[in-house]
Amino acid sequence: MIEYAALKIIWWALLGALLIGFAIADGFDMGVGMLLPFLGKNDAERRVIINSIGPTWEGNQTWLITAGGATFAAWPLVYSVSFSVFYVALLLTLFALFFRPVGFDYRSKLPDPLWRNAWDWGLFAGSAVPAFIFGVAFGNLFLGVPFRLDEDMRVVESSGLLHHLRPFALLCGLVSAGMLCLHGATYLQLRADGVIAQRARRVVAFMALFTLISFAAAGLWLTQIDGQRLVGMGDPNAALLPLAKTVSVGKGAWLSNYHVYPWMMLAPLTGFAGLLLARYCSARGRAGVAFLASSAVIAGIILTAGFSLYPFLMPSSLHPPSGLTVWDACSSRHTLFIMLGVVIVFLPIILAYTAWVYRVMRGTVTVERIVRESHTAY
């Protein structure tokens, strides 16, 4: 039987893997959606862009549902606090996501240019708003979430939407939107041809530089932010006891993990190296390698955030001991063990099926194909 403390670390790693999987799989969908109104200069070109992701976007978005379900089961307090504090932001994200299924299915049902143009911008909003808000949410974790827990473990929060739109959080939103635009551009360069691929290559060159600068700026800014550090905790084999720990607050504390665990530096180095490699390979027409490099960028940036916050999952700015960590905010040992068994059985099946789908849907989408399949394509 696996020790309870080990199960907590395993599920922290699995949650990170789910977030990275979502960002890589659904990230290029969102990146393509953000680029749709700009890279497609006419209806045929925009249909090429839409059909590059149309058959697979729904399957990709299930990674988000899976990550949410895993959070609910493994980290119930994190799920509860996030939906309480970030309620308005999550609601805006949900409303924006509504544009995606309707836009994909109904955009080409009518030939009216105004109708199609409206849905193009709807798909843009359905991609750009979630990408930006997810980054803003991560930025707010470093600034501290305005909540505390009372003696009965009830959440007391004090915030509004404007409170979350702080400068550092907005910068993190730009990092998120930039890396997903880069990811979408590398995917378009891989799946489209001709003029669309050429335009996507120019976007890769710009977005790689933009993301590199914004990511570096966020790292430098983080050194000036009051971070938190766990200096004492209760029983590591207990569940749902966040108030039993001691937390210190100090400038640059979010970077202390890199001194304790130097190997964590691999995460930001992977992000920076991936940005340079994606730009280099894209410029030389090696779109497949550029796409893999942009995937590494996403993994590196998300891991950098996770390693910097560790062991915190939801830091509190109102009462630091109320912050939720890997050790004191999780479900019971029995719950984590059963869930791990489910993951071991079903995750390989899901990955194999996903690989098969992409193998079937592989190939370049062209204007000629869209014209030929006008009544069946998106």
pLDDT recorded at residue 209: 96
Q: Cβ–Cβ contacts within 10 Å for residue 312, how many?
A: 24
Residues in the chain predicted with pLDDT less than 70, given as ranges, are 158-162, 234-240, 375-377
pLDDT recorded at residue 222: 93
Quick: pLDDT tens for 233-253: 766 666 667 777 888 888 989
Using alpha carbons, select from 331, 337, 310 the residue that is nearest to residue 239. Answer: 331
Nearest-5° angle of CA 302, CA 308, CA 309? 95
pLDDT recorded at residue 261: 93
Whether the predicted model's global pTM rises above the 0.85 cut: yes
Contact at 8 Å (CB) between 27 and 134? no
Enumerate long-range contacts of 148-151, CB under 8 Å, 24 or more apart: 148/316, 148/318, 148/319, 148/322, 149/242, 149/243, 149/319, 149/322, 151/243
pLDDT recorded at residue 119: 94
pLDDT recorded at residue 238: 62
User: Mutual orientation of helices 194-222 and 167-191 as an angle, nearest 10°?
Assistant: 150
pLDDT recorded at residue 70: 87
pLDDT recorded at residue 105: 87
Contact at 8 Å (CB) between 128 and 177? yes
pLDDT recorded at residue 246: 83
pLDDT recorded at residue 247: 86
For residue 229, the surrounding DSSP H or E stretch is strand 226-232
pLDDT recorded at residue 3: 87
Chain centroid, CA 377 distance in Å: 29
